[in-house]
Structure 1
Amino acid sequence: MQIAASGMKSGRRVRRNAHPYVHLLTILISSVVLLPVLALASIAFTGSGGDWPHLVTNVLPGATWTTLLLLFLVAIGTGTMGVAGAWLVVGYEFPLRRLFAWALVLPLAIPPYLAAYAFAEFFHFTGPVQGALRWLFGFTSPRDYWFPDIRSTPGAAVVLSCVLYPYVYLTSRIVFLMQGRNIADVARTLGARPAKVFWRILLPVARPAIVAGITLVLMETINDIGASEYLGVRTLTLSVFTTWLNRGSLEGAAQIAMLMLVLVVILLLAEQWARRKQRFHTGRATHLKMHPPRLRLSGAKGIAALMAVTVPVLFGFGIPLYVFGRYAARRLDQFVSPELGHALLNSVVTAGTTSLITVAVALALINAVRLARSRPIALLVRLASIGYALPGTILGLGLLFALARFDNLIDGLARAHLGVSTGLLLTGSAAAVVFACTIRFMALAEGAIRSGVEKLPPHIDEAARSLGQSPAQSAGKVLLPLLKPAILTAAVLVFVDTVKELSATILLRPFGFNTLATSVYENASRAVVADAGPAAILIILAALIPVVLLSGALMRDQEA
């Protein structure tokens, strides 16, 4: 027995040390992900600090207050729309419920900057809303009536809330679908009224999911630059660009970016704190398929429920589609223009390359965890997935500094030893854009693939290896075919988010390199939003495909 035990221990040691490349790979990837942050910290804390007094006095107070106010308003807006929509389609029966169960996801196809451009045009003095008000009440000038200004912090909060609430809707809906209706039915049989059931029972149950969704929303809000700039909201993200471009201060921009990073860390810690000890489980797996009947709403209550789920879809998806669809219909010739063709090609190539690289790296990381089965490796893999928590501005700016230093180092060595200049190899190249998007969206790919791996039997690859297959053979012949749906999902998610990415692309793209996102941004910056119609429609169509697939999956669930 002692010999067997020692043999088992040595076997474990052999298996654990049989893949030394696993440790090297995970350390390398984690270091690359942290490279932009380390570069920013180096610039921010080793500079002269000459711009800091100006920033503290004139920039940071206003930008920080505006950012915090925007985050608060967006959290309230998305939380209200997402939770209300999720519970209505799960707990009640009303007209067109099945349609809106998936339609509520459609605003995910609209990037925030497109929504900002569309809202500004739709609610402008010459837009259809104010035009209808003047026609209805006989007004002749803006002085005759009051209309809320969309170009404000509350206006930006409305825009962002209308396109980001699906993050909260999806996470809340899952909890309500799995547990909410069962718990609510038990509470109602004990005499509790619907309002009390919702506030006292359902919200506490769904709190972890709601917090997770709102955290994702706030990450996207911090990352936004296009909507904030166009609507005139001076957030910290916008201050990074203005400090760098207008004042020519890389050090000041890095210092603001580090402040944003502190804000991101606070959000992540707040999420963990809010979700502490909040775990709920069903008693049996069969409970997932056994749901009490929904409460039927008729008359005025049914109409009110229908309106409650219609308004978010109309605002978050209908208005942008209407505005840019009308603009694109008047500029059909642009769909065959060389400029739009080049932007589309650049977007597709960049997004496709990013998807392939990101999925390959995510597979390598997940396989490393399965092979090593050690806590340090798992921690390193989680560290390699923090890129999604980094705003595109921080990521792009830090990566720009790091790549510039790398290019200067290579150029210096080449001049000293070879007598030639290599110039800028990575800085200002399409490869830098792919690099940034790979880091930023690694969490999406890793999460999608990991969810597929967790559904597999835990020892399926070991069974293959016991039949004489090597780790590489078992991965290629067993794991990859079974993970094909998860891998395709990860690739599609990364592709779509790369097509929509704006912040990092603006910072890192080479001169004359336009994507669909930057093409829309440039037209909006020149105050010719109408000319961005064709590019905007292509972005919406590219993002709409996976959103429709996701919505179809929602309709095929057991509760429908």
Structure 2
Amino acid sequence: MTETRPLAPHGRISRRHGGSWLLGTGAVLVAGACLLPMLAVLLAALTGGTDTLRHLAETVLPGYVATTLMLVGLVAAGTFALGVGAAWLVTMTRFPGVRVFEIALVLPMAFPAYVLAYAYTHLLDHPGLVQTALRAVTGWGPRDYWFPEIRSPGGAAAMLVLVLYPYVYLLARAAFMQQSAGAFLAARVLGASPWRAFWTVSLPMARPAIAGGVLLAVMETIADFGTVAYFSVQTFATGIYTSWFSMADRAAAAQLALCLLGFALLLAVLERIQRGRARFHHADRRHMAMPPAELAGLRAALAWVTCAVPVVLGFLLPVVILIVMGMGSEQNLLSSRYIGFVRNSVTLAAAAALLTLLAAICVGFYQRLRPGRVSAAAAHVARLGYAVPGGVIAVGLLVPFAALDNAVDAFMRARFDISTGLLVTGSIWLLVAAYMVRFLAAALGAYEGGQTTVHANMDAAARSLGQSPLGTLRRVHLPILTPSLLTALLIVFVDVMKELPATLIMRPFNFDTLAVQAHRLASDERLEGAAVPSLVIVAVGLLPVILICRQVGRRGR
């Protein structure tokens, strides 16, 4: 990639170039907003006293740690096996339907894990279709047989694996497609079997991409609340919510959030280290594509089944289940109540997407405009939000702003005998700010990916024609980056539609979204009713997946 020079001469920010100082201030403010929840959680946890922490350590903390680590291990192993296996088969082999599977394997990304949990509970729970049919056929009673319990850590891990393996699949497939055939063929010439050559040559070369995908899946696992809460699996995410609402113990919530924050940041550091150090290069300049192996007979059938299972279990079957459930429910999507849920969801998602995109442009363009320690630090801090679970961000924003609201109210009461109430806490805009912190990394990644296509000479040409930094951004960068900007908007929009923990904790009173409504109905065991808002969430979630599928299809040609 070509190095980009600062637009102002001698590396100095000039006010007469209209906007560089404004961009710098904006980038620093965005970074500060991303850092605020983490600092607030740290401060609240440290000032909460040791009694609460000691009580947590003696009661629930060991269980939270064990269950969270169990989920992390199961999801990491499951996403690795499914993602890498499917990526290798569709990239390095040819069998009937492989072109369809290249795209179909991405479709489960449209599902939030908690929606998948609702569908499979309706199918596999004791009163569900499968066990009811089993009892009808065999004549068994409820205690005459054993059936796997869906509401368990293993069931939660299965739901998370089915929706998160596409992270590994996409990155592993891209890595396999970029590999040259030289090393693999050399191993085959030296007598290695295809399996041994894959295990000792191709897999290590793709390890950085695979590890990055697995770590992304693990980060999503520790941030998940809807699935584990519905299955009554006690993790840090459910502990934060319980401490905040059921026990009204902010110190306990902050200390649990600090533990989860530390684990999330550790994973982010590990991902950064492995991505920065693990690199593989082709020994020659010629890139020889790997010749795909033609499969036939039993091998082709096994490959077809291997690729079909995650697609059926992760997308097709849940869609059918939800449609059947929705048809049997009494929920009317066209009622004024549901129109309100849709309006609230779209309002939050649109506002958060616009704010997040503006923040990403500010941080990303300032890093290009003034490369240096300040801009690099702002970009690094802005990316931290993706590693921080929504529940942690919610606690980190509510604690300082609740204190601010209480201080203002106390001052106004003392001076003017006026109660101001809650000015910021419980507002839509604080919730939108939480979304911005949570999903800024995704928007920034999409923006920076498009920004690499803008050559430095374009900046120089704009500068020679008298354009200010903001003028260059408006007239040169933004028109070229329109596809990347739309992609970033869409990704954040859909992520906000699916977000549950931050919305549950921070939403204003009587301001429910589709995700909250689905969670409420499912918590009341009204699964058929929960299917209706869940289907809308999945339908919206298909939009970015379609974009990804189009990119996958183009690369596969």
TM-score band w.r.t. shorter chain: over 0.9
Deviates more, 1:37-46 or 1:328-337: 328-337
Deviates more, 1:184-193 or 1:542-551: 184-193
Q: What is the match of residue 513 of structure 2? A: 515
1:173-184 aligned within 5 A: 173-179=173-179, 183-184=183-184
Q: What is the match of residue 472 of structure 1? A: 470
Q: What is the match of residue 69 of structure 2? A: 68
TM-fit CA distance, 1:284: 7.9
1:161-200 aligned within 5 A: 161-179=161-179, 183-200=183-200
SS of equivalent residue, structure 1 residue 89 = helix
Q: What is the match of residue 208 of structure 2? A: 208
Q: What is the match of residue 304 of structure 1? A: 302
What is the one-letter code of the residue matched to 1:97? V
Quote the Cα distance in structure 2 between the aligned partners of 1:486 and 1:182.
34
TM-fit CA distance, 1:529: 1.2
Q: Does structure 1 residue 20 correspond to structure 2 residue 18?
A: no
Q: What is the match of residue 36 of structure 1? A: 37
1:6-155 aligned within 5 A: 11-15=9-13, 19-134=20-135, 138-155=138-155
Aligned residues of 1:332 and 1:534 also touching (Cα < 8 A):
no
TM-fit CA distance, 1:148: 1.1
Quote the Cα distance in structure 1 between the aligned partners of 2:441 and 2:530.
31
TM-fit CA distance, 1:144: 2.9
**Alignment counterpart, residue 386 of structure 1, candidates 376, 384, 387:** 384
- Rate the CA distance shift 1:270–1:370 in 2: closer, same or farther, 3 A: closer
Aligned residues of 1:516 and 1:535 also touching (Cα < 8 A):
yes
Q: What is the match of residue 395 of structure 2? A: 397
Aligned residues of 1:187 and 1:197 also touching (Cα < 8 A):
yes
Query: TM-score scaled to structure 2, two decimals?
Result: 0.94
Q: What is the match of residue 229 of structure 2? A: 229
TM-fit CA distance, 1:25: 2.4
Q: Does structure 1 residue 459 correspond to structure 2 residue 460?
A: no
Quote the Cα distance in structure 2 between the aligned partners of 1:300 and 1:548.
32
Aligned residues of 2:490 and 2:543 also touching (Cα < 8 A):
no
**Alignment counterpart, residue 373 of structure 2, candidates 372, 375, 379:** 375
Quote the Cα distance in structure 2 between the aligned partners of 1:433 and 1:215.
27
Quote the Cα distance in structure 1 between the aligned partners of 2:487 and 2:499.
18
Quote the Cα distance in structure 1 between the aligned partners of 2:98 and 2:178.
18
Quote the Cα distance in structure 1 between the aligned partners of 2:331 and 2:263.
45
Q: Deviations over 1:137-173 (max 9, x none)?
A: x242233322111111112111111111111111111
- Rate the CA distance shift 1:11–1:451 in 2: closer, same or farther, 3 A: closer
- Rate the CA distance shift 1:28–1:416 in 2: closer, same or farther, 3 A: farther
TM-fit CA distance, 1:74: 0.6
Q: What is the match of residue 502 of structure 1? A: 500
SS of equivalent residue, structure 2 residue 532 = helix
Aligned residues of 1:240 and 1:257 also touching (Cα < 8 A):
yes
What is the one-letter code of the residue matched to 1:90? T
Quote the Cα distance in structure 2 between the aligned partners of 1:445 and 1:279.
25
Identify unmatched segments of 5+ residues in structure 1. Answer: 1-7
Aligned residues of 1:180 and 1:202 also touching (Cα < 8 A):
no
What is the one-letter code of the residue matched to 2:141? S
What is the one-letter code of the residue matched to 1:459? N
What is the one-letter code of the residue matched to 1:205? M
Q: Does structure 1 residue 443 correspond to structure 2 residue 441?
A: yes
> Cα RMSD between the aligned structures?
2.1
Quote the Cα distance in structure 1 between the aligned partners of 2:239 and 2:404.
26
Quote the Cα distance in structure 2 between the aligned partners of 1:466 and 1:273.
40
Q: What is the match of residue 489 of structure 1? A: 487
Deviates more, 1:454-463 or 1:334-343: 454-463
Percent sequence identity over aligned pairs? 39
Quote the Cα distance in structure 2 between the aligned partners of 1:107 and 1:116.
13
Quote the Cα distance in structure 2 between the aligned partners of 1:498 and 1:176.
32
Quote the Cα distance in structure 1 between the aligned partners of 2:11 and 2:83.
49
Quote the Cα distance in structure 2 between the aligned partners of 1:458 and 1:404.
46
Equivalenced residues, count = 548
Aligned residues of 2:180 and 2:289 also touching (Cα < 8 A):
no
TM-fit CA distance, 1:32: 1.0
Aligned residues of 1:461 and 1:475 also touching (Cα < 8 A):
no
